[in-house]
Amino acid sequence: MSGKKKMYRMPVCFCMCILVMAVFSSCSISMNRRQGSVTASPSSDVQTMQGIVIKNDTEKSQLQIRDMDSDIISTLTYGATSVITDRYKTEQDGSRVPVGQILKATYRTSDAKLVTAEVPEEVWEYQDVTKFSFVADDNMLKVAGKKYQYSDITYCSSSGNEVEPMEFNNHDILTIRGVGIKVYSVVRTSGHGYIRLTNYEDFVGGMAEVSKNIIVPISENMLITAGEGTYRLTLCKKGVAVTKTVTVQNDKETVVDFSDYVVTGRNIGEVTFAIEPDGADLYINNTAVNYDKPISLQYGKYNVTVSLTGYETYTGVLDVEEASKTINIDLIEEVATASDDSSATATPSSSSASDSNDSDSETVTKQIDSDHTITVSAPEGAEVYLDNVYKGLAPCTFTKVIGSQTITLRETGYVTKSYSVDIIDDDKNAKLSFADLVKEEAD
**Quick one: CA torsion of 298, 315, 227, 149, rounded to 10 degrees?**
170
pLDDT in tens, 120-155: 999 999 999 998 988 888 899 998 889 999 999 999
- What predicted TM-score, i.e. pTM, was given to this entire model? 0.73
pLDDT in tens, 336-364: 654 444 433 344 444 444 444 444 434 44
Q: pLDDT-based confidence at 293, cuts 50/70/90?
A: confident
289 pLDDT higher than 90: no
pLDDT over 70, % of the chain: 82
175 burial (CB, 10 Å; 0-12 / 13-18 / 19+) is buried
Mean pLDDT, all residues of the chain? 83
pLDDT over 90, % of the chain: 55
pLDDT value, residue 365: 55
pLDDT value, residue 77: 97
Closest CA to 51 of 100, 113, 108, 114: 100
Q: What are phi and psi of 220, to 5 degrees?
A: -70, 155
Q: pLDDT-based confidence at 443, cuts 50/70/90?
A: low
106 pLDDT higher than 70: yes
pLDDT, average across residues 168-182: 95
31 pLDDT higher than 80: no
